[in-house]
Structure 1
Amino acid sequence: MDCCKGPDNLPCCQVESVVSIDERGQMVLPKEIREKSNIKAGDKLALVRWNNTGNVGFIALVKIEDLNRMVQQMLGPALKEING
């Protein structure tokens, strides 16, 4: 199920799967999702939370390497400007 459209009118996100949380607060990422996302055992993922009027709107899992790259892209120009 598509949940939004990007500028090119293609889905920017999709509901890929529904997972359950067990009594220890753990969930299993389905094998198909892990394979599509190239997630391997031992990979580190950041849980990113978006708030919507004080409540959690949605959460996303982002590979640490991707998060580091995004932060560098956002802050890199500012750091260059600060450092001269």
Structure 2
Amino acid sequence: MEEKCCCGIDAILSIDARGQLVLPKEIRTKLDIQPGDKLAAITQHSGGKPCCLLLIKADEFSELAKEIVSPILKNMTVAGGD
């Protein structure tokens, strides 16, 4: 079975003189990004230098973090009770 790629390029963004970028309307619509929404910026490093930037809705990142951290904390609590 052939695997589908999980990501692709939706747009090329430019940074203006003030260091700001604009997300094209098509992307905002596709991802349901509304005025006032907050995005978490996550960097990936390669060779000790930042190389990639991932933007994720802050509320979704918060939920994802809870899903990841909660079982770890629960496991630590159980292990610590021995």
Shorter-normalised TM range: 0.7 to 0.9
Task: State how many pairs are aligned.
Answer: 78
Shift of 1:81: 2.3
* Aligned alpha-carbon RMSD (Å): 1.6
Q: Which runs of 5+ in 1 are unaligned?
A: 1-7
Which protein is bigger by CA-based radius of gyration? 2
Partner residue in 1 for 2:7: 13
TM-score for both structures, normalised by structure 2: 0.86
Unpaired runs of 5+ in structure 2?
none
More strand by share: 1
Q: Which residue of 2 aligns with 1:26?
A: 20
Partner of 1:65: 59
Greater relative CO, 1 or 2 (CA 8 Å, sep 6+) = 2
SS at the partner of 1:24?
A: coil
**CA deviation vs aligned residue, 1:32-80 (integer Å, no higher than 9, x gap):** 0000011000001011100111222210111011111111111111112
TM-score by length of 1: 0.84
| Structure 1 runs (4+) greater than 6 angstroms displaced | none
> Is the helix fraction higher in 1 or 2?
2
